[in-house]
Amino acid sequence: MKRVVVTGVGALTPIGNNYRDYAEALLKGESGAANITRFDATHFKTRFAAEVKNYVPEDHFHRREVRRYDRFSQFALIVAEQAMNDSGINPDEIQLQRAGVIWGSGIGGFETIEHDIEEATLSTSETPRYSPFLIPKLIADIAPGHISMKYGFRGVNYATVSACA
């Protein structure tokens, strides 16, 4: 068996957008549940959820990257950067072929699935048009791929996907 070492942490959660804020809120017993703001929930029985708050993609990414990355990949890249900074690891000083990313998710690019497929399906054109970014944005293993590409990691790289129930 090979040894795995956690060297840094990051967090982007409903109770904190970095590990320090998250841990502090968690210890205080704060809840991240609040009224849903990301869509109109008036026709739903439940109108609250635990959304990530105060997230502005343009604070972290260039406009082109915001369009290219699904929200879950944006979150992955932000948290990976926080963890790398927390670790103090310099990618230039490690064996990149031994550095990898294993990412866990309940689903891949749900926002892409919801928006792009709905847009193409409801299109008035005879043939639906899909963005060339559709598949790369929605597959779950794109998040660890983006992280590996950003840091030059060439080791193991995959996503594990499981239901939340």
Residues with Cβ < 8 Å from 73, sequence gap 6 or more? 109, 137, 142, 143, 146
Please tell me the total count of domains within the chain. Answer: 2
Q: For residue 11, what pLDDT is reported? A: 97
Q: For residue 81, what pLDDT is reported? A: 97
Same domain, 112 and 141: yes
**Residue at which a domain ends, from 55, 70, 92:** 55
Same domain, 71 and 149: yes
Q: For residue 118, what pLDDT is reported? A: 82
**Per-residue pLDDT tens over the stretch 71-118:** 999 999 999 999 999 999 998 999 999 999 999 888 888 888 888 878
Same domain, 65 and 38: no
Weakly modelled stretches of the chain, pLDDT under 50: none
Measured distance CA(108)–CA(142) in Å, rounded: 8
Secondary structure of 75-130 in the HEC alphabet?
HHHHHHHHHHHHHCCCHHHCCHHHCCEEEEECCCCHHHHHHHHHHHHCCCCCCCCC
Same domain, 74 and 153: yes
Q: DSSP 3-state assignment of 136?
A: helix
